[in-house]
């Protein structure tokens, strides 16, 4: 998602409105496990670094209230297994188990990072 996406979010928020998100960003090394939930191969993956994401949000007019890397806490969590449900990400993402496994490996090896934030429209 590029600058136009965040500028549009900023445009529709009221003054002091907040934009909260969780997203994947590029890690230290290029992701090497594919497919991933958002990309089937390197040609489909356009992740930016956490610093670039924060910069784009700032250029769009947002002020950071919270911006944190939750990668380590996320990949060390024990998966919670719930009763099967037809309403999972698998509705939107084909081959989810394989893609999620590749994402987990990429996260563990620092190829991708998981960040979350709350940014306020100034």
Model confidence pLDDT, tens digit, residues 22-48: 999 999 988 889 999 889 998 988 999
Spatial distance between the Cα atoms of 39 and 104, rounded to a whole number of angstroms? 14
What pTM was computed for the model? 0.83
Report the percentage of the chain scoring pLDDT > 70. 91
79 phi, psi to nearest 5 deg: -60, 140
User: Given pLDDT bands bounded at 50, 70 and 90, which one contains residue 66?
Assistant: very high
Q: What is the pLDDT of residue 95?
A: 87
Flag whether pLDDT at 19 surpasses 90: yes
Query: Mean pLDDT for the chain?
Result: 89
Kindly give, in sequence order, each residue whose CB lies less than 8 Å from that of residue 116, ignoring residues fewer than 6 positions away: 20, 21, 22, 23, 66, 67, 68, 70
| pLDDT bucket at 79, cuts 50 / 70 / 90 | low
Cα angle value 98/102/106 (rounded, 5°)? 170
Number of other residues whose CB lies within 10 A of the CB of residue 53: 22
């Amino acid at each position: 998602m590029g600058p136009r996406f965040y500028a549009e979010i900023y445009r529709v928020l009221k003054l002091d409105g907040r934009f909260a998100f969780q997203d994947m960003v590029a890690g230290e090394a290029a992701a090497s496990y594919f497919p991933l939930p958002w990309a089937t191969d390197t040609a489909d993956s356009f992740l930016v670094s956490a610093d670039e994401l924060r910069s784009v949000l700032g250029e769009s007019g947002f002020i950071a209230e919270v911006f944190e890397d939750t990668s380590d806490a996320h990949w060390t969590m024990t998966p919670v297994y719930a009763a099967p449900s037809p309403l999972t990400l698998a509705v939107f993402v084909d081959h989810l188990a394989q893609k999620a496994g590749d994402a987990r490996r990429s996260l563990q090896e620092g190829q991708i990072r998981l960040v979350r934030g709350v940014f306020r429209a100034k």
